[in-house]
Chains A and B, each alone.
Chain A
C-alpha cells in the first residue's frame, strides 16, 4: 500500500510546510525536530486539516486533491490515528473504546478480529476495566488496538514512544513491530527520537522547518546524510553493524570490526545490532589515565579530518570506522595529523545498540 503526498502547502506558525513524499515501506518514519510540522502533516493525511494545496493518494484512491476540489471526509478515509495524547474516550469503558470503530464499520468483514488484536497486544485482561485506571503503557496498547479494530488501511502514529520512559519504550517497540509483521498494516510514524526511528522504521523522511531534506531507506539516510544539515539532525556519526557476544550484569560485550566494546545491554534480547555512537560522545586523548570510569579505550589512527564551524570532524580507524567531534583548539593542542595515533574514549552508556 503506497502513500503518495504531493504539492503539500500548509501554512503553519512560522513557516509553510512543503512536502512531496512517496512512502512505500511498511513502516515509514517522519523524523525531525519538534515544531517541524510533523503533527500537522499527519492531521492533513487523516483529513483533520485542510491545506492551501495538497494531493494525497493512498493506494489507488485519491483522498485529497485541492486542485480538483476533492476532499474525502475523515470518517471515510480508513486511516487509523494514534495521537500523542492517545485520546481514549473517558466516558466509555475499555471494551467500548476498542469496539468504537469496529461497530461503525459494521458487520462488514473487519480486517482483524477482536480476539486476535487483543491477544497480540496483550490487553485481554484490561477489557473489563475503566479507561481512567490504566497505566501509560496499557493506554498505549489500547489506543493501538482501537485503531486496528477499525480496519485501517494505513496507521498514523504521533510520537508513539514519546511520552514513555526508557523501560516502557523498550516494552512497546515489540508491539509495534508485531503490528507491522502480524497485521501488515502500513504505518507512518512521527518522531524526533533518532533511535526510535532507527529501531522501528524501514524508511525515513527527514522533515526540518517544513522542508523535506532527505528521504529513503533508514540506514541510507543515517549513514549517508545528504548534507551537513541532515547530518546534524540525524546526528549519529558512527553507525556500524556489530554482534553481541555476551551479556552480564546489564552490560553487553559487542564485537564490532576488530574491536570489542562494552555497552549497556539492550532490553530486547538480540545478537545482531547496529552500534550507534555520536561524534560528540567520543573523547580523544594522548595519555591514558591510570584508573578511569570509561570502559572503552581504543587505540585509533586518524584517517582524515574536516572542519565544520567551531568543530572538527575526525575520522578514525579504531578497528572499525569511528567519528569524533572535537574543537579546533583541541585539534591544535593534540597536534593531530593524518596518520597520528590517539586513544579514543567512549563511555559505555554512550554506545547505543539498535537491534538489526
Chain B
C-alpha cells in the first residue's frame, strides 16, 4: 500500500466517522419525533427520509448537485454570502455520506425508541421530569444499544458510498478520493492490483463495522 492509498483509507474513515457524528443529533431527534408523536405531514417526512435508501444514489447526488451547486438554491447563498463552496470539495463528500446514511440511522434508532416502554417515560414525567430530561435519562439509555447499532450501520454505509459522492465531489486525488471512488478509478485505468488492494481494505473495514453492530445487537437481546 502506497502513501496515497493510506491517505485514501484515512480520509474515507474520518469523513465517514465525522458524517456519522454529524447526523446523530438530527437523526435522533427525527427518530424520536417519528417514534413517539403523530403530527400533520408525518407520513411525508417518513417518505422523504426513506428516499435516499430507495432512490438510485446517483439520483440523490443529482438533486444535491442542483441544490448545492453555485447556482443552486442553497449553494448560491453559501457561495455569495458565506464564500463557502461545497461541490468538488471534501465538504461535498461529507454531505453525500451524511445524506445517504441518515435514513439507516433514523430507521434503527426509531425502532430502538419504539421498543422503550412508553409507560416508563410517562411515569418519569409524573415524577417531575421534563420531556428533555426523560429523553436523556430514560429513553436514550434504554435505547442505547439500538442507537449504537444504528450508528455503526450508518458508518458502514458511509464507508461504501459511491453514487452520490462521485456526483457532487468528483474524485479529486488527495482531496475527495474515497475508497470506493479509488477502486472505481483504478479499474478504469486497468490498475487491477491496486483496485484489489483497496477492495481488501474496504472489505475489512465494512466487515468489522457490521460484525460490531451484530455483536451489539446480540448483547441487546440478552434479558436486561
Contacts and interface: CB of A to CB of B under 8 A. Distances in A.
A85 interface: yes
A74 B142 contact: no
Chain B CB count within 10 A is highest, among A78, A80, A85, A89, for A89
Contacts of B123: 81, 83, 87
B122 interface: yes
B118 to A, nearest CB: 9
Interface in B141-158: 141-142
A100 B133 CA distance: 11
Interface string B110-126: 00000001011011111
Given A91-B142, A91-B224, A132-B224, A79 B124 contact: no
A78 B133 CA distance: 16
B206 interface: no
Interface in A22-80: 43, 46-48, 73-80
B18 interface: no
Contacts of B125: 47-48, 73-75
Contacts of B142: 90-91
Nearest to B124: A100
Interface string A135-179: 000000000001100100000100000000000000000000000
B43 interface: no
A150 B128 contact: yes
A291 interface: no
Contacts of A87: 117, 119-120, 122-123
Contacts of B141: 91
A79 B137 CA distance: 20
Nearest to B224: A90
Contacts of A101: 127-129
Contacts of B128: 75-76, 78, 101, 104-105, 150
A131 to B, nearest CB: 10
Contact of A83 (B119, B133, B137): B119
A132 B119 CA distance: 17
- Chain B interface main SS type: helix
B78 interface: no
B127 A150 contact: yes
B120 A89 contact: yes
Contact of A81 (B117, B126, B133, B224): B126
B148 to A, nearest CB: 14
B138 interface: yes
A104 B117 contact: no
A75 B129 contact: yes
A78 B127 CA distance: 8
Interface in B83-135: 117, 119-120, 122-131, 133
For chain A, the bracket of interface size reads 20 to 34
A75 B128 CA distance: 4
Contact of B119 (A74, A79, A85, A91): A85
B2 to A, nearest CB: 48
A100 B129 contact: yes
A79 B123 CA distance: 10
A132 B126 CA distance: 22
Contacts of A77: 126
A197 B141 CA distance: 38
A146 B131 CA distance: 19
A47 B141 CA distance: 24
B124 A46 contact: no
B128 to A, nearest CB: 4
Contacts of B120: 87, 89
Nearest to A74: B125
B224 A146 contact: no
Contact of B126 (A80, A85, A89): A80
Interface in A66-118: 73-81, 83, 85, 87, 89-91, 100-101, 104-105
A104 B119 contact: no
Contacts of A48: 122, 125-126
Contact of B127 (A43, A47, A132, A146): A146
Contacts of A104: 127-129, 133
Contacts of B119: 83, 85, 87
Given A75-B129, A104-B133, A89 B124 contact: yes
B127 A46 contact: no
19 contacts: A47-B125, A48-B126, A74-B125, A75-B126, A77-B126, A81-B123, A81-B126, A83-B122, A83-B123, A85-B119, A87-B119, A89-B120, A89-B124, A91-B224, A101-B127, A104-B127, A104-B133, A132-B224, A147-B126
A-B residue pairs, 7 tightest by C-beta: A101-B127, A81-B126, A74-B125, A104-B128, A87-B123, A150-B127, A87-B119
